Structure 1
Amino acid sequence: MSGSHVWVGKWRRVSALPVLAVLLVVAAVVAISLGPVRIPFLDTCRILLNGIGIHADVPERFASVVSDIRLPRVLLAMVAGAGLAVVGAMMQALFRNPLADPGITGVSSGGAVGAVLVLVTGADAFGRWTLPAAAFCGSLVALVVVQTIATFRKDRSPITVLLAGTALTAILGAVVGAIISNAPDAQTVRSAVFWLQGDLSAAGWSDLAPAAAPALVGCAVILMCARELNVMLLGDEQSRSVGLDAVRTRRFLLLVAAVVTGAIVSVTGIIGFVGLVVPHIVRLAVSSDHRLLLPASALFGALFLTVADLVARLLFSPVSLQTGVVTALLGAPILLLLVLRPQGQEAGR
């Protein structure tokens, strides 16, 4: 490798996190400023500064729009994007499979069953927490089923968990379809389909806490396991040779991934492609070392979902698209471009 290529690679690794952080802040302020009510960029900055205790004069008519409507939605997009991207990067390392994503173990499908059951049976009338709680419990049940299958088979390889998760996802998808097809009315079907496609339009402060706390704590745990993930890429035998119990580590990290994914899905619905595409882009542009890949994926995932949600709000305004639809429209072509790109060395090698 030439000296210029080495220098460029080092510069990308050093500058990646600060650049992504700045872009994320700018995107967040822009997303808060734009909408049916346009708020001047500087006024948005002043309102946000007021929120952290730095006094600045702002028009009252804008303050409530920012604090009550747009800020929680943007923060939820950032938390969900970061969490899904970090879990996606971790799953691709655990299974040594570039197509792995946060829902590959059936967690998202389990959450979907719980949510759709609540919607179809009318149990959401008991309170707004009913649906997120059911979706979260469904996610955890799916993980337990997959882990139980792997335990009974006594096969500790990641391929067993992967195949069990794929089979369970297919079964739960059929269950969701059967439940929706027997919904009592068209409005219930619409609500279920709306949730399954993922959306942030109804996000409020009460939605942020149940997703943010597990997602942030789980991502912090995964970041602390970056070295272990680097080792596990070499395989279970090589991991064992350096004193790492790959099976136990994998089980622990899958539990963390289920908690993070379940918490996010329970609030946002199923938002695809973030956990699949973002790690690939970061790995290609920045580094494949998980000590850098994971934090960079968190920042870029938050940026990606924030921009996708902004596009969902503005593209056909005043009609709003669902956030999950936009992530698919953006993520699928990006994934195709990554597949068709000329083969070469990754940036972090």
Structure 2
Amino acid sequence: MDKLKLRSGTNIYNDSDYYNAVHWNYREFTEFPVKLLRECNPVTDLYLKENRIEKLPRDIACVFFVGKLYLDGNNIRAFPVEMCRLPYLTHLDMSGNLLITIPEEICQLTNLQTLILDDNQLRWLPISLQNMTNLKELSVNDNSLYWFPQKIGSNYYSSSVRFWRNRTLHHVPFALWLHVLNDSQLPVAEKLCRLDDLEWSSYAGESLKNTVRIGRSQMELVIPQQFHQIEQCASGSPASLLELCLRRCYIIYYRVLKADAPRHEDENNNEIDKMPNWISRTMQFGPTAFCDVSHCNCPLFGYAVLAVCVRDVDNESGRILATAFFCSKSCCEFWKRVYNTEPLEWTLTR
């Protein structure tokens, strides 16, 4: 069969003539079959389940047009950055591997809708997941997560999020708690954070540990290391000028990119390339969190006012320890009035 000739700008999923699925499950491959794939027509669906692949190649662009990629049940230890450059990828299943981290560059998979990472060894999820507005399904069951992003995609309400059996995950974002309650996924309270006589310790890094004391329990909340300044609800310390500038730049950057991307995509990319590297990466990967007051939703980079509260789910399931981030003390005070919540006291130790 002759190789397909793809026209520039063609969406291969709108034309059935371009569909090409390759099923190579249970073949005992020990490496990604690059040579074999180069001999095939452009692959749209690639199934490599239950092989013995340990490493993904840098030239994974040989499956440039792949839309669905199934790599579950292998021995893959690293998620290569090069895989974040597959523009047509909509479904990625890497469950049952040995992944420890996911790169922040995953946000470059702008068409990704389903991401399945069950049964790995993940401790963190990339903050840039919150910029993946097309992501509708995320599954990270049976990992070792310590921290969860404040939101996934546009928000938790428009996404399906599964994160059961992460025994080291003891607190969840306030927005996720609301999603859990509204979606009646009450078993999460039993699997995550029963506070009865709880004693555990987890670490946020070498320099930042946020300790919350509740009765006899002492807990260290895992906070993203990107936060340079964490304030208590009662604190009145303002954000730095750099923080305020980053917030404003991100709002302008996001609005311009969203409005003009279809017409001036190349021009936008050129402008981004002209920016200093650390600023362009900050804008691309997005803020560490967003203000939890819905009408504000201000991006947060290195500064946040942190509130920690205990929410009752029901009489049987117990309570959830929830964390919320705010851009200022005034937003935190507004949040306390709306949800009739009194945050717990906590102390910051270094």
Fold shared per TM-score above 0.5: no
The TM-score with structure 2 as length reference comes to: 0.20
- Radius of gyration: which is bigger? 2
Name the structure, 1 or 2, with higher relative contact order (CA <8 Å, separation 6+).
1
Higher helix share: 1
Higher strand share: 2
